[in-house]
Chains A and B, each alone.
Chain A
Amino acid sequence: MPAGNGANREAAGVGETGAAGVGETGAAGVGETGASGEPWDAVVVGAGHNGLVCAAYLARAGWEIAPGFRAPALAHTVGRLRPSVVRELRLRDHGLSLVAPEIRAFVPGDDGSAIRLWADAERTAEELRERSVHDAERYVAFDRLTRALGRFMGELATTVPPDIAAPSLGDALAGLRLGRSFRGLGRGDARTLLRVLPMAVADFVAEAFTDDGLRGAIATRGVLLTAMGPWSAGTAGVLLADGAGNDGGAAGQSVHVRGGPAALADALGAALRASGGTIRTDADVASVLERDGRASPRSIRSAC
């Protein structure tokens, strides 16, 4: 397949000697050139939501993108989806509709009772009164704490980890920004954050609550999607990270995509196409082509 080398452009996405790109199983390579007739600026391997987000941002910046390869969506909620992504890629205009129910979690107990965690912490606290006055009185403060710490974790999540051995100016600036947010927490919360991050989530919830059912209801978020139990150190950090950059708080953030999680991929795909990107499915990437030891100056892989 011809690579159509442009004047000052590197070839991307072609399985030809000397060119960098990706090779598909059962086919020679991504092959086709971008709309300009020149090779792709970037090929994104894997069109999970991160691949799509990554591609959409690059396309928005004027890159020519060929991502691909969508898989069925297994997730059921999208509470961790960054609001900034929704905003910046104008996903609502591309058909995304998010539903954030008033009820965040419903936890049926063995004894026929149930706990409901609401978006409104006061309302949850009111309901908890029946189970434990002590816990009800602590709930709002706990909610505030997890929100504050989660906000900081959100900042952390949007920072590219620094190169510790040789920090760049960018790393230093990011460090300063983080440092400011850290101080912004105030002394009490800042200390609490450093204490809580490495803790077991079971211990963290037990500091505030006595009711085992409530402890369990909240602690689940510390072990969700991990291979750890609630007594494992570090799971309190998982809980806080779950509330990073969203309106999680003690109850967590349950956000659904209208039409199911696949609809998020559809919106991302639409955003990408609107910026001129292309998506191919059924295109299993077999190898990344190298030239001179690099994938191609402007090609990226889906480490996004």
Chain B
Amino acid sequence: MTGRYDAVIIGGGHNGLVSAAYLARAGMRVVALERRHILGGAAVTEEVFPGFRYSVASYVVSLLRPEIIRELNLPRHGLEILPLDGTFTPLDGDYLWRVNDHGRTMRELRRWNLVDAEAYEEYGQLMVEMARFIKPILSVVPPDPTGLDPRQFLPLAGLLRTFQRLPEDRQAVFVQLMTMSAADFLGQWFTIDPLIATMSASGIIGTFQGVRSPGTAYVLLHHYMGEIDGAFRAWGIPRGGTGGVSEAIASAARALGAEIRTEAPVARILVGGGRARGVVLESGEEVLADAVLSSIDARQTYLRLLEPGNLDPAFEEEVGRIKFRGSSGKVNLAVDRLPDFTSLPGDGEHLRGAISFSGSVDDMELAYDDAKYGRWSRRPYIDMIIPTLVDPSMAPPGKHVISCFVQYAPYHLDPALGSWDDNRDAFGDAVVDRIAEVAPNIREIILHRQVLTPFDIERRFGLSEGNIFQGELSLEQLFFNRPVPGYARFRGPVRDLWLCGSATHPGGGIMGANGRIAALELPRATGRKVV
């Protein structure tokens, strides 16, 4: 289909695809344009070494909105989430192993400490309550607190009422969650160091913060939200890797009439008369549309794809201030056999969930200290998954792939260390060394190793400074401040130019919420009739 579109979407990551599907569902003629040869953005599966398929970047799904799964009928389009079970924290001579089976986890915690075991139940319940309370925020358009129209606050009125109804101690906990550090917050309940360390890890994923940095407790809550959707408990890995999510969404979008093109990098956004009119591809081809939705980050959208002169300098400055500074790396391994942990030898069930290299809070904080001064962590925090144990199709028979999400790998290295190209191998070695501390056979079983530094993440996925969330998830860059204050309503100052990727509220992760809210808001805001 050529000619004029109702909407053109820049980027075929999962959010761009979600937008395409919802706009098509509303009866609009839409086309999504992806720069790479493959769809999915950071939610992608690629065969990097022959026979071994990797979820190259993102590796687990926990936040994907259940309403999207339902409304787009994703299971019919091939989505299948294979559950992961538990978190195994290997230690020197011991381990901490929590599983979905409540009784077993309690027994394990009691082995460590009775008081913590009791607190664990209380804590779990509390977090579910908190997550349930805050969850509606994931599907609203943030208000502008300086705006005069009171109607924009309406979506929050319900939230305020629920807040007022919360018992006072719960209100206090909520305030703590919004302000405290993950380690301090958890320290109020627990004393088992590896437990606090492992649980606090989800507070620092993708941020340039340590577990003792204020503000990280909120991110804990963010991660709990995915775990409470009773109907579709979606913590797991998609069959076929995270690319499976993107494939399913793309298939749903196509079925609804959206057009999707790969190898179609956008070079420029066309602006005429103060409004976006379409895009120009690097090939020179023009794609005209009534609205342009960009699923890439705000910096690239406004400062690279727009010709200079279209923006007010104050807005430009605000966009220039967005903090990216990627802090994560990814090491994907192809192995001959499974790793063997000294403290719990064998191919047991402990390998079927997340394996968390987070022995103590000090370890976590020390890993961050390196990053603060421009070095990659010499003893990094690693979140490891072995996808082939739940989805053997990812590797040749008997072989395995291992996904290692690594923190910290600061995008901006101390110049004394040289470039990331100079450091890639040493960084990869540090990851293997850390694993070898508790699973010495790792060195012998590696067949192939893919190391992605933040620099590689930027180059490969177009994520500025390698930030995995298209902008740090720090308090000052959330909700009505995301992507910049005053423009959190999925559009900036240029008319008909929208944002629909992780750069917007509610932030990053394979969630789809951003793409969905933007696509629902566009027809509403433009007064277009939804078919």
Contact B372 A231 (CB under 8 A): yes
* B485 part of interface (Cβ distance < 8 Å): yes
- Residues of chain A lying within 8 A (CB to CB) of residue B163: 164
Partner of A233, one of B146, B164, B209: B209
Give the contacts of B466-508 with A (CB-CB under 8 A). Answer: 474-476, 480-481, 485-486
* A180 part of interface (Cβ distance < 8 Å): no
* B321 part of interface (Cβ distance < 8 Å): yes
CA distance A165 to B314 in the complex (A): 39
- Residues of chain B lying within 8 A (CB to CB) of residue A233: 209, 213-215, 474-476
Least CB distance, A49 to chain B, in whole angstroms: 27
Contact A164 B164 (CB under 8 A): yes
Query: B300-325 interface mask toward A, CB cutoff 8 Å, 1 = contact, 0 = none?
Result: 00000000000000100000010100
Contact B171 A188 (CB under 8 A): no
Partner of A232, one of B213, B323, B476, B480: B213
Contact B146 A190 (CB under 8 A): yes
Q: Please tell me the number of chain B residues within 8 Å of chain A, measured between CB atoms.
A: 22
Query: A211-236 interface mask toward B, CB cutoff 8 Å, 1 = contact, 0 = none?
Result: 00000000000000000100111100
Least CB distance, A141 to chain B, in whole angstroms: 11
- Counting chain B CB atoms within 10 Å of each CB, which of A182, A188, A197, A198 scores highest? A198
Give the contacts of A172-220 with B (CB-CB under 8 A). Answer: 182-183, 187-188, 190-192, 194-199, 203, 207
* B75 part of interface (Cβ distance < 8 Å): no
Nearest chain A residue, comparing its CB with the CB of B178: A198
* B179 part of interface (Cβ distance < 8 Å): yes
- Residues of chain A lying within 8 A (CB to CB) of residue B476: 195-199, 233
Nearest chain B residue, comparing its CB with the CB of A197: B476
Contact A165 B475 (CB under 8 A): no
- Residues of chain B lying within 8 A (CB to CB) of residue A166: 164
Question: Given A228-B214, A234-B179, does the pair A195, B485 have CB atoms closer than 8 Å?
Answer: yes
* B168 part of interface (Cβ distance < 8 Å): yes
Nearest chain B residue, comparing its CB with the CB of A163: B168
Least CB distance, B477 to chain A, in whole angstroms: 8
Query: B176-194 interface mask toward A, CB cutoff 8 Å, 1 = contact, 0 = none?
Result: 0001000000000000000
- Residues of chain A lying within 8 A (CB to CB) of residue B485: 191-192, 194-195
Contact A165 B171 (CB under 8 A): yes
Nearest chain A residue, comparing its CB with the CB of B486: A191
Contact B164 A203 (CB under 8 A): no
CA distance A194 to B372 in the complex (A): 25
Question: Given A194-B480, A196-B476, A231-B372, does the pair A165, B215 have CB atoms closer than 8 Å?
Answer: no
Least CB distance, B274 to chain A, in whole angstroms: 20
CA distance A275 to B489 in the complex (A): 56
- Residues of chain B lying within 8 A (CB to CB) of residue A234: 179, 214-215
Give the contacts of A99-153 with B (CB-CB under 8 A). Answer: none
Partner of B164, one of A165, A182, A192, A194: A165
Query: B144-183 interface mask toward A, CB cutoff 8 Å, 1 = contact, 0 = none?
Result: 0110000000000000000110001001000000010000
Question: Given A165-B164, A191-B485, A191-B486, does the pair A198, B474 have CB atoms closer than 8 Å?
Answer: yes
Question: Given A188-B314, A191-B486, A198-B476, does the pair A232, B171 have CB atoms closer than 8 Å?
Answer: no
Contact A191 B214 (CB under 8 A): no
CA distance A124 to B113 in the complex (A): 58
Question: Given A194-B485, A233-B213, does the pair A165, B474 have CB atoms closer than 8 Å?
Answer: no
- Residues of chain A lying within 8 A (CB to CB) of residue B209: 233
Contact B314 A231 (CB under 8 A): no
Least CB distance, B467 to chain A, in whole angstroms: 15
- Residues of chain A lying within 8 A (CB to CB) of residue B145: 190-191, 194
- Residues of chain A lying within 8 A (CB to CB) of residue B164: 164-166
CA distance A199 to B323 in the complex (A): 11
- Residues of chain B lying within 8 A (CB to CB) of residue A197: 476
Nearest chain B residue, comparing its CB with the CB of A202: B372
CA distance A207 to B168 in the complex (A): 38
Least CB distance, A201 to chain B, in whole angstroms: 12
- Counting chain B CB atoms within 10 Å of each CB, which of A197, A207, A234 scores highest? A234
Contact B481 A194 (CB under 8 A): yes
CA distance A194 to B146 in the complex (A): 10
- Residues of chain A lying within 8 A (CB to CB) of residue B323: 203
Least CB distance, B312 to chain A, in whole angstroms: 11
CA distance A49 to B171 in the complex (A): 32
CA distance A233 to B184 in the complex (A): 14
Least CB distance, A266 to chain B, in whole angstroms: 38
Least CB distance, A27 to chain B, in whole angstroms: 38
CA distance A165 to B165 in the complex (A): 7
Nearest chain B residue, comparing its CB with the CB of A190: B146
Nearest chain B residue, comparing its CB with the CB of A233: B215
Contact A198 B475 (CB under 8 A): yes
CA distance A233 to B314 in the complex (A): 24
Nearest chain A residue, comparing its CB with the CB of B145: A194
CA distance A190 to B145 in the complex (A): 8
CA distance A191 to B485 in the complex (A): 6
A-B contacts, 21 of them at CB < 8 A, read A164-B163, A164-B171, A188-B314, A190-B146, A191-B485, A192-B485, A194-B485, A195-B476, A197-B476, A198-B179, A198-B475, A198-B476, A231-B213, A231-B372, A232-B213, A233-B213, A233-B214, A233-B215, A233-B476, A234-B179, A234-B215
- Sorted from nearest, which 3 A-B pairs have the closest CB atoms? A191-B485, A198-B475, A233-B215
Given contacts A164-B164, A190-B145, A198-B179, 11 further A-B contacts (CB under 8 A): A164-B171, A165-B164, A183-B146, A188-B314, A194-B145, A198-B474, A228-B214, A232-B213, A233-B215, A233-B476, A234-B179
